[in-house]
A and B are shown apart, each in its own frame.
Chain A
Amino acid sequence: MGKFWVIFVASISILLPFLCNSFSPETPTDRRVLVLLDDFAVKSSHSSYFNSLKLRGFDLDFKLADDPKIALQRYGQYLYDALILFCPSVERFGGSVDVAAIINFVDSGHDLIIAADVNASDLIREVATECGVDFDEDPSAMVIDHTGYAVSETEGDHTLIASDDYIKSDVIIGSKKIEAPVLFQGIGHSLNPVNSLVLKVLSASPSAYSANPLSKLSTPPLLTGSAISLVSVVQARNNARILITGSLSMFSNRFFRSGVQKSGSSTKYEKSGNEQFLTELSKWIFHERGHLKAVNVKHHKVGETDEPALYRINDELEYSVEIYEWSGTSWEPYVTDDVQVQFYMMSPYVLKTLSNDKKGLYSASFKVPDVYGVFQFKVEYQKLGYTSLSLSKQIPVRPYRHNEYERFIPTAYPYYGAAFSTMAGFFIFSFVHLYNK
């Protein structure tokens, strides 16, 4: 018996690091990634990108997109934390995977990278549409830019674009400035105007348009200028992150290594910005950056430590919350000065900026308004690039009890005097009236 016990403990202690490594709210960085490919050639042609992921500790599982054995979940458990779709031309996924399965995968908090290309299949387009972007409807259209193209050997081909119109967010694309433009060759997409969760990370220049480069342009192109997005990201409400791009080749080794010179510009860069841009972006997508958590939401009356079940109007209270940011390996205090707490009942009655102690503890103290009702402490923190924090804690506020009012009000002393003098007068009057014959 004791032997088994030892084995059990040993196996647990061996397995423990692996168990802890898996994706969880405590360690939000993804671990297991499924990569779906059109053919295994991509695995070698895009090996730099995959290697950079592997080096950062990701466990990549390469599968052909039409492999009949692929599955995202088994017995209700997801097998992967993230999915990379490098299979622009797949018409039908193998196994149990379909559009709904991918959407459910995202809706249960997992990340997704979609790379389409010219002649992207309807399937890939459908997934993209579900995520809030629309690829150009013309299957053979490409993004063409006659002024912002990258200078290359083949003269006249302006479909290879060098773009440096990034989103201005250090959280998403890293704090280190990307010097060289990013090479892009593929299909453009536009953002669905009603969806405000989708963001343009890399947009085309105002002179770009989307059309079939081989045929003559007979009608004005539908997608033009900065409306074309080359790379977009979505951060869903449950903080699942999605990357969508219309170019598979921008991930390729060839683009990573090639030099770039933007037309009209004399500077020639030895190496394109693709590697830095996409690596940094993948850090964001896989939650190595910009992931916040709020813990230990506390509130209590000033001078007390216990959390009351309800407050009274005009109470002084203190509210505190700890906010940490995931650095990829550990939770670091998140320091900023723009976190606000609302004391909310249909509309905010109190709106106060929380002060922090640089160690992640944010706190504020304020007075409960002179209104009773069911209030909420609300922290709605939505900052570009960061996961959104939406905390709400319900707390009723009651009016005064009958014995919490002042008993004697100084201004009312004349009335008290009047009442008591009348009583005394009445007593004396009755006495005199009764006994004075």
Chain B
Amino acid sequence: MATMPASASDLLKSFKLKTKQQELLIRVSILCLVYILAFITRLFSVLRYESMIHEFDPYFNYRTTLYLTENGFYDFWNWFDYESWYPLGRIVGGTLYPGLMVTAVLIYRILRFLRFAVHIREVCVLTAPFFASNTTLVAYFFGKEIWDSGAGLVAAILIAICPGYISRSVAGSYDNEGVAIFALLFTFYVFVKAVNTGSLAWSLASAFGYFYMVSAWGGYVFIINLIPLYVLVLLITGRYSMRLYVAYNCMYILGMLLAMQIRFVGFQHVQSGEHMAVMGVFFLMQVFYFLDWVKHMLSDTKLFQAFLRITVTCAVAVGGIALGLGMVSGYISPWTGRFYSLLDPTYAKDHIPIIASVSEHQPTAWSSFMFDFHILLFLFPAGLYFCFKRLSDATIFIVMYGLTSMYFAGVMVRLILVATPAVCLISAIAVSATVKNLTVLLRSKNKVVQTGSTKGSGGSKSSSKALLDQSQPFQKNGAIALLFGAFYLLSRYATHCTWVTSEAYSSPSIVLAARGAHGNRVIFDDYREAYFWLRQNTPQDAKVMSWWDYGYQITAMGNRTVIVDNNTWNNTHIATVGRAMSSYEDEAIEIIRSLDVDYVLVVFGGVTGYSSDDINKFLWMVRIGGGVFPVIKEPDYLVNGEYRVDKGAAPKMLNCLMYKLCYYRFGEMLTEYGKPPGYDRARGVEIGNKDVKLEHLEEAFTTSNWIVRIYRVKPPNNRWWLNRYKFG
């Protein structure tokens, strides 16, 4: 039918129902295509490399998922992992968000039940793309809810390929965010639906959506603060309604009770400062409802005014006193550092170096906004304009979601992810509204010429537009030009998104790729080589010390005990490792022995020019170590405030353990033609200490490109006892 528009249009005119059917068909097929597109655009990494888990955190998630499939839910729930955080151990079941693992295992079980013999790794690799596809559906319905189905379709298309979202949901990126964005958007959609309809069922659904979100990601705090903020804004703007009351109260109470079932969250909903806003608004709603009722009962307005004043004063006073008492008694915990650092971007830098040290916690650069959003960055304000023009409960919600998440995206790079759905939706409104207006202009003119009759829905509008047309003669041409412009922009967006996905976001970061001298692709598989070596050549209970970045990978792939890992729950322990790395060897060996370390692993990019290695991360080790142990002072490692590794480097820098381990035997190596031996390609300098001698450690393994170097801790000297203790 769609292939024969000329003859079809005649038919369509006589059968109105057919138009709707055709529209439905087009809509459904577009959605299907978008659904598939969202999935396949995330498969670049599988095609380029192989079906494997990426990055750092996903390895932990994969390991726990594996554990869950092998040991069942109750063992997983009570899992005490003694292979990480030696010797403290980690209660894994109580310190993770289990949503992702449970989801993956559920998918795995369903596939198994349907007799698909898949491996759990395949499921894990493809979980994020699968949920990204589902997110496009939610985006469609959400867009439909706040604007119309056209906006919904555009939103689905935009979010399907938006780089800001793809960055965390390519195949292999098996991380909480992969399912959490789906849960987030779903919760918001269902909540807005509940507010719009006042239906208990939708509200209940939003409570369950919230529960899923809580089980999947710590970002649920955003929901639990945005929703009360939204309700507060509605109350202030006088949009209080029974629908809102039902939606909010049901969602809050049930959502809170459900969220408490997650061990990691526990009683935070009633005890933590971050969750107090939602409780305050809950009580405020009751006061509002009560006042409404009193107003209804009292006919005397003056009396009501007096009553209102007393009630509001009392309510605020009681709330304030309760909060104050809770804070003072310690029942309500103060805000955490992460929360503070969101409100004050400089907070982490001054107080919590471990948060500031993570690259994805840095404030966002303008370029990365452009990179991740492309045209959406310009469409976003336009969409806001449209939203403000047609203000409703739903558009207020999306505006607030967009503005707050944009702020957070500016504070932390990784929160671009949270802003992406809002930006896509608002931009979709802009695109949809503009295109619709333009097409209405084009079509109305045709129709005026032909019959003057208009379509049912926008009848009055288009007739008024038709009136306007006569005053602006070039409007039709202008509209055509604008439409072409819009399509050009959108096609650029599609090209950009595909390019970004393929070039920037599809590398697994555990396998590195570089361009060789002849433009060919060179693969550095050093990480896996090293972890494989650890697994095959070290004792089963060997303890490996490395900087925390590699902890998850060592436990998951090397199957060896680590001292610290990416779950940075114990700052002191990490600081101890930082201190060992930044001390002289004979001081470090004391720490190393006290932690029963057998192997020390460092990542070194001087040979390959790999820049995110331990030498470049070293200042953070010094800072984090120095934050707990004041004997480590950052200026000792700097020369005139400058960080360098060449001859002009600080003496402490040249002799600390990290420097020695990275540059051991490097001084005799020729890395680049025409450069002296010991030329560090990552820093572009000749190293300052070429004659590195190790006393207590010995080189055990260095990967083929020197990216990972593993050292064995030597046993103490047989005939010497350099200790205070003495026999007798």
Most chain A CB atoms below 10 A, which of B86, B87, B724: B87
Contact segment of B54-62, B176-184, B290-298, B715-723: B715-723
Cβ B82 vs Cβ A236 within 8 A: no
B88 within 8 A of A: yes
User: Per a CB cutoff under 8 Å, which of B91, B541, B594, B721 touches A237?
Assistant: B721
When A196-B725, A384-B728 are in contact, do A132 and B720 touch as well, CB less than 8 Å? yes
Q: How far is the CA of A402 from the CA of B77 in the complex (A)?
A: 8
- Which chain A residues (377-406) contact chain B, with CB distance < 8 Å? 382-384, 394, 396-399, 401-402
Contact flags (1/0) for A123-145 with B, using CB distance below 8 Å? 00000001110000000000000
A12 within 8 A of B: no
Cβ distance B265 to chain A, nearest Cβ, rounded Å: 15
* Chain A: CB-nearest residue to B727: A384
Cβ A399 vs Cβ B726 within 8 A: no
User: Per a CB cutoff under 8 Å, which of B89, B718, B726 touches A238?
Assistant: B718
User: Per a CB cutoff under 8 Å, which of B78, B594, B725, B727 touches A402?
Assistant: B78
B307 within 8 A of A: no
Cβ distance A402 to chain B, nearest Cβ, rounded Å: 6
Cβ distance A10 to chain B, nearest Cβ, rounded Å: 42
Cβ B82 vs Cβ A194 within 8 A: no
A106 within 8 A of B: yes
* Chain A: CB-nearest residue to B723: A196
* Chain A: CB-nearest residue to B719: A236
A84 within 8 A of B: no
B340 within 8 A of A: no
* A contact residues around B541 at 8 Å (CB): 394
Q: How far is the CA of A132 from the CA of B722 in the complex (A)?
A: 11
* B contact residues around A242 at 8 Å (CB): 719
When A195-B720, A195-B721 are in contact, do A375 and B80 touch as well, CB less than 8 Å? no
User: Per a CB cutoff under 8 Å, which of A107, A199, A374 touches B82?
Assistant: A374
Cβ distance A241 to chain B, nearest Cβ, rounded Å: 11
* B contact residues around A103 at 8 Å (CB): 719
A345 within 8 A of B: yes
Q: How far is the CA of A256 from the CA of B80 in the complex (A)?
A: 67
* B contact residues around A432 at 8 Å (CB): none
A41 within 8 A of B: no
Cβ distance B447 to chain A, nearest Cβ, rounded Å: 56
Cβ A373 vs Cβ B87 within 8 A: yes
A423 within 8 A of B: no
User: Per a CB cutoff under 8 Å, which of A197, A346, A372 touches B720?
Assistant: A197
- Which chain A residues (269-302) contact chain B, with CB distance < 8 Å? none
* A contact residues around B723 at 8 Å (CB): 196
A234 within 8 A of B: yes
A240 within 8 A of B: yes
- Which chain B residues (398-431) contact chain A, with CB distance < 8 Å? none
Q: How far is the CA of A375 from the CA of B716 in the complex (A)?
A: 22
Cβ distance B556 to chain A, nearest Cβ, rounded Å: 18
Cβ distance B213 to chain A, nearest Cβ, rounded Å: 23
* Chain B: CB-nearest residue to A394: B541
Q: How far is the CA of A401 from the CA of B72 in the complex (A)?
A: 14
Q: Identify whether the interface residues of A are mostly helix, strand, loop, or mixed.
A: loop
Cβ distance A316 to chain B, nearest Cβ, rounded Å: 19
User: Per a CB cutoff under 8 Å, which of B86, B91, B715 touches A399?
Assistant: B91
Cβ A346 vs Cβ B91 within 8 A: no
* B contact residues around A130 at 8 Å (CB): 719
A310 within 8 A of B: yes
Most chain A CB atoms below 10 A, which of B263, B561, B715, B720: B720
Contact flags (1/0) for B79-94 with A, using CB distance below 8 Å? 0101000111101000
Q: How far is the CA of A143 from the CA of B721 in the complex (A)?
A: 28
Cβ A396 vs Cβ B89 within 8 A: yes
- Which chain A residues (183-209) contact chain B, with CB distance < 8 Å? 194-197, 199
Cβ B719 vs Cβ A106 within 8 A: yes
Cβ distance A211 to chain B, nearest Cβ, rounded Å: 29
* A contact residues around B91 at 8 Å (CB): 372, 399
- Which chain B residues (695-728) contact chain A, with CB distance < 8 Å? 715-728
Cβ A374 vs Cβ B727 within 8 A: no
Cβ distance A340 to chain B, nearest Cβ, rounded Å: 15
- Which chain A residues (212-246) contact chain B, with CB distance < 8 Å? 234, 236-238, 240, 242
- Which chain A residues (149-176) contact chain B, with CB distance < 8 Å? 169
Cβ B87 vs Cβ A382 within 8 A: no
Q: How far is the CA of A190 from the CA of B721 in the complex (A)?
A: 16
When A373-B87, A375-B87 are in contact, do A396 and B82 touch as well, CB less than 8 Å? yes
Q: How far is the CA of A182 from the CA of B717 in the complex (A)?
A: 33
Q: How far is the CA of A359 from the CA of B594 in the complex (A)?
A: 34
Q: How far is the CA of A236 from the CA of B723 in the complex (A)?
A: 14
Cβ A373 vs Cβ B719 within 8 A: no
Q: How far is the CA of A130 from the CA of B723 in the complex (A)?
A: 17
Cβ A196 vs Cβ B718 within 8 A: no
Most chain A CB atoms below 10 A, which of B594, B723, B727: B727
- Which chain B residues (374-412) contact chain A, with CB distance < 8 Å? none
Q: How far is the CA of A184 from the CA of B691 in the complex (A)?
A: 47
Q: How far is the CA of A396 from the CA of B88 in the complex (A)?
A: 9
Cβ B78 vs Cβ A236 within 8 A: no
User: Per a CB cutoff under 8 Å, which of A237, A373, A376, A401 touches B88?
Assistant: A373
Most chain B CB atoms below 10 A, which of A132, A169, A373: A373
* B contact residues around A374 at 8 Å (CB): 82, 86-89, 561
When A196-B727, A373-B87, A373-B88 are in contact, do A396 and B719 touch as well, CB less than 8 Å? no
Most chain A CB atoms below 10 A, which of B561, B716, B719: B719
* B contact residues around A240 at 8 Å (CB): 718
Cβ distance B418 to chain A, nearest Cβ, rounded Å: 32
Cβ B594 vs Cβ A396 within 8 A: no
Q: How far is the CA of A163 from the CA of B263 in the complex (A)?
A: 73
User: Per a CB cutoff under 8 Å, which of B74, B719, B728 touches A195?
Assistant: B719
Cβ A196 vs Cβ B721 within 8 A: yes
* B contact residues around A234 at 8 Å (CB): 719
* B contact residues around A399 at 8 Å (CB): 80, 91
Cβ A197 vs Cβ B721 within 8 A: yes
User: Per a CB cutoff under 8 Å, which of A237, A373, A394 touches B718?
Assistant: A237
* Chain A: CB-nearest residue to B720: A195
Most chain B CB atoms below 10 A, which of A130, A238, A374, A398: A374
User: Per a CB cutoff under 8 Å, which of A106, A195, A236, A372 touches B80?
Assistant: A372
User: Per a CB cutoff under 8 Å, which of B78, B80, B716 touches A396?
Assistant: B80
Q: How far is the CA of A197 from the CA of B727 in the complex (A)?
A: 8
Q: How far is the CA of A211 from the CA of B67 in the complex (A)?
A: 73
Q: How far is the CA of A278 from the CA of B74 in the complex (A)?
A: 67
Q: How far is the CA of A107 from the CA of B541 in the complex (A)?
A: 25
* B contact residues around A375 at 8 Å (CB): 87
Cβ B719 vs Cβ A132 within 8 A: yes
User: Per a CB cutoff under 8 Å, which of A107, A194, A346, A401 touches B87?
Assistant: A346
* A contact residues around B78 at 8 Å (CB): 398, 401-402
* Chain A: CB-nearest residue to B82: A396
Known contacts A131-B719, A194-B722, A373-B87, then 17 further A-B pairs from the complex at CB < 8 Å, ordered by chain A residue: A106-B718, A169-B728, A194-B720, A196-B725, A197-B720, A237-B721, A238-B718, A242-B719, A372-B80, A372-B89, A373-B89, A374-B87, A374-B561, A382-B725, A396-B82, A396-B89, A399-B80
List residues of B whose CB falls within 8 A of some A CB.
74, 77-78, 80, 82, 86-89, 91, 263, 541, 561, 594, 715-728
A-B contact pairs, 29 of them (CB 8 A): A106-B718, A106-B719, A131-B719, A195-B720, A195-B721, A195-B722, A196-B721, A196-B724, A196-B727, A197-B720, A197-B721, A197-B727, A236-B718, A237-B717, A237-B718, A310-B82, A345-B88, A372-B80, A372-B91, A373-B88, A374-B86, A374-B89, A382-B727, A398-B82, A398-B89, A399-B80, A399-B91, A402-B74, A402-B77
> Can you list the 7 inter-chain pairs with the closest CB atoms, starting with the nearest?
A396-B82, A398-B80, A384-B728, A374-B87, A196-B726, A401-B78, A197-B721
